[in-house]
Chain A
Amino acid sequence: AAGVIQSPRHLIKEKRETATLKCYPIPRHDTVYWYQQGPGQDPQFLISFYEKMQSDKGSIPDRFSAQQFSDYHSELNMSSLELGDSALYFCASSLGGRWSDTQYFGPGTRLTVL
């Protein structure tokens, strides 16, 4: 079965640079969520989109922005990168956009900021 695809899998950036992470949800899923998992930490919710509209916002820094496109894929744009942004970024998708819909996670993008 098709799963959530994230690209790139690994990314190395310097401080103050920008990064773009991409997420391709499971086919027919209309909701995308972004989570950040710091080293040794639990995943923290950043932002979600349902039917191309932002549906919920968590602890996403103002330096980050995201959107969901017409084909339902999503991109997380990160600017003025800081060392503390080094983390594993997960995308999850679900069908229906309700809080109770099961979220399926992608393999994550590991971002390292030097």
Chain B
Amino acid sequence: GEDVEQSLFLSVREGDSSVINCTYTDSSSTYLYWYKQEPGAGLQLLTYIFSNMDMKQDQRLTVLLNKKDKHLSLRIADTQTGDSAIYFCADGVDTGRRALTFGSGTRLQVQP
């Protein structure tokens, strides 16, 4: 089955850029998602990218996809303390399954 991996922890200073990385194993992955989870809260969809794209930008968020290396990254520009949360990448595979496979999540800590 597919596997999605992320580094567990990232600490940055307010105002800096944050880069959260994710790798996946299934070459059939066609849609890749980034979700944000604040403490005790649900999963908030941040953005997604289709596998025929290399990059997608949405305000402070930039998603980069290297399909050859099966590597996905989320860059948050001008990181704020309100960005502190756990960030999950998830992939959707074109095999008819309707479930997402999540990575283990990266805890982003933003220091003032």
Name the A residues within 8 Å of B98 (CB-CB).
Answer: 31, 33, 48, 50, 55-56, 97-99
Name the B residues within 8 Å of A102 (CB-CB).
Answer: 33, 45, 48
Determine whether the beta carbon of A99 is less than 8 Å from that of B94. yes
Name the A residues within 8 Å of B103 (CB-CB).
Answer: 42
Determine whether the beta carbon of B102 is less than 8 Å from that of A99. no
Task: Type the 1/0 row for B45-80, where 1 means its CB is closer than 8 Å to any CB of A.
Answer: 100100000000000000000000000000000000
Determine whether the beta carbon of A108 is less than 8 Å from that of B42. yes
Determine whether the beta carbon of A56 is less than 8 Å from that of B99. yes
Report how far A98 CA is from B100 CA in the complex, Å: 12
Interface check B44, CB cutoff 8 A: yes
Q: How many residues of A are in contact with the other chain, CB < 8 A?
A: 27
Contacts A42-B88, A42-B105, A105-B35; A99 near B97 (Cβ below 8 A): yes
> A100's contact among B94, B102, B105, by CB below 8 Å, is which?
B94
Name the B residues within 8 Å of A64 (CB-CB).
Answer: none
The tally of CB-CB contacts under 8 A between chains A and B is 62
Among A92-114, those with CB < 8 Å from B are 92, 97-100, 102-108, 110
Name the B residues within 8 Å of A105 (CB-CB).
Answer: 35, 42-45
Contacts A99-B94, A99-B96; A42 near B102 (Cβ below 8 A): yes
Task: Type the 1/0 row for B25-52, where 1 means its CB is closer than 8 Å to any CB of A.
Answer: 0000011010100001111110010000
Interface centre among A90, A100, A110 (most CB of B within 10 A): A100
Name the B residues within 8 Å of A100 (CB-CB).
Answer: 30-31, 92, 94
- 14 A-B contacts, Cβ less than 8 Å apart? A4-B42, A31-B98, A41-B104, A42-B88, A42-B102, A55-B98, A56-B98, A98-B98, A99-B97, A100-B94, A102-B48, A106-B42, A108-B41, A108-B42
Chain B residues in contact with chain A, CB under 8 A? 30-31, 33, 35, 40-45, 48, 88, 92-105
